[in-house]
Structure 1
């Protein structure tokens, strides 16, 4: 595998695995065994000589499953980058707690933490000449039954956070993972569309849709006028490649 390339696997909901030339990055692992997600995170896979980084954007159960800590039995190089709202009783020296708006370098990876419009963080990660963004619960949460005042405040907070991301000094985002939550009904695409228009990632993966895979095709149609590739995630199609 070359620099500037990656294999991306959708695990479930907002969980993704990204394999690059040197590293394995796992974001917001939270399996749902009822729909038989891809469970490629086996001991042999983790112990393949690559650096392993596990990111958790916040403590909500659909983004954080404590079974991730079992993986350190299989990988001596594994490191955990955790939002600081996650409480660990006995943290180890391979656990790294992050607050928002911080930057640090860990082995061959540079990590920028940004905020959320819900709980916890979003992450911008640079590895092997790739910029990868995982939004966590950062989204334009436009709930139709909220007051107009709440809706406008949500929009403001969301757009402020996207502008903060835009001001970071990076060439371009290669791979992004962003919520398209069908619970928002006809407003499900607001955040993803704005993100695509402003940030212009090269490849944009919908997430946070549970088992409602149809929303991926729906969202792809919503932004088909933009020069952004949206993979067709489906229950039987979960693995994709990226080459810049």
Structure 2
């Protein structure tokens, strides 16, 4: 498996038989170069929610270059017929689009392999995604995070903590269920999760810390870092035992073979 950090929260994951592209956008502040893809492997494109740093209607134009592409979007994108016309989303692309409600499960197939897609309700809007295929599980958090904004007050922070822990408990249960049903290890191979330096030291790492506490994760790829990659070093200084699990992303376009 190859994981490429494109920019901000956008990742390309190359599986044995297909690709998954998460939260790719063409917005100048959040975009990066999309690697060339093999035409032999199908492309699945995921958008976690409607914020401009995670969703861009231009991703549907990927169908022109990759005719077999399929698209998976969150319900809050609200792609009504009128909105699709306004955004210039073609009928052909929308026909290959699945809208995923929070806490839904989709069983489908890709390149002859069974694929499970679970949408986990975010603590912000939209979904996080847990995918199971080829004996592996991959997680993209979208904006599902422990948003410990101290400026919002104690009540907000306590409520956020409870909601995030509950969401990760739900994710942990999903991992266990997928493992049991498919006779695979109860672990996530690759998890892409927010590590947002805007939260400040002491708060920025809470989300990944709780994810790692509840679930066995082989490789964690921090995202939503606003190009401040030094936040990874701060996190590792506070969590040295996780040094082998946390990817030290240093630039856009960096790839990791796992």
TM over 0.5: same fold?
yes
- Residue 151 of structure 1 is matched in structure 2 by 157
Q: Any conservation in 1 of the 2:191–2:221 contact (CA below 8 Å)?
A: yes
- Residue 229 of structure 1 is matched in structure 2 by 245
Q: Provide the alpha-carbon RMSD of the alignment.
A: 1.9
In the alignment, the residues of structure 2 paired with residue 125 and residue 176 of structure 1 have an alpha-carbon distance, to the nearest angstrom, of: 10
In the alignment, the residues of structure 1 paired with residue 16 and residue 78 of structure 2 have an alpha-carbon distance, to the nearest angstrom, of: 32
Q: 1:208 aligns with which of 213, 218, 224?
A: 224
- Residue 61 of structure 1 is matched in structure 2 by 52
Q: Does 1:142 align with 2:148?
A: yes
Q: Any conservation in 1 of the 2:33–2:253 contact (CA below 8 Å)?
A: no
Higher helix share: 2
- Under a length normalisation based on structure 1, what TM-score does the superposition of the two structures give? 0.89
Q: Any conservation in 1 of the 2:8–2:30 contact (CA below 8 Å)?
A: no
3-state DSSP of counterpart to 2:158: helix
Distance 1:81 1:236, change over 3 A: closer
3-state DSSP of counterpart to 2:25: coil
- Return 52-61 or 195-204, whichever deviates more: 195-204
Deviation readout 1:180-225 (Å, 9 max, x if unpaired): 1111011101111111111121000100112111112222333222
Q: 1:110 aligns with which of 100, 107, 116?
A: 116
Q: Any conservation in 2 of the 1:197–1:226 contact (CA below 8 Å)?
A: no
> How many pairs were matched up?
233
- Residue 185 of structure 1 is matched in structure 2 by 200
Distance 1:34 1:82, change over 3 A: closer
Q: Any conservation in 2 of the 1:11–1:31 contact (CA below 8 Å)?
A: no
- Residue 3 of structure 1 is matched in structure 2 by none
- Under a length normalisation based on structure 2, what TM-score does the superposition of the two structures give? 0.85
5+ residue gaps, structure 1: 1-5
Deviation readout 1:82-121 (Å, 9 max, x if unpaired): 0011122345221000101111122232101111100000
In the alignment, the residues of structure 1 paired with residue 133 and residue 238 of structure 2 have an alpha-carbon distance, to the nearest angstrom, of: 30
5+ residue gaps, structure 2: 85-90, 180-185
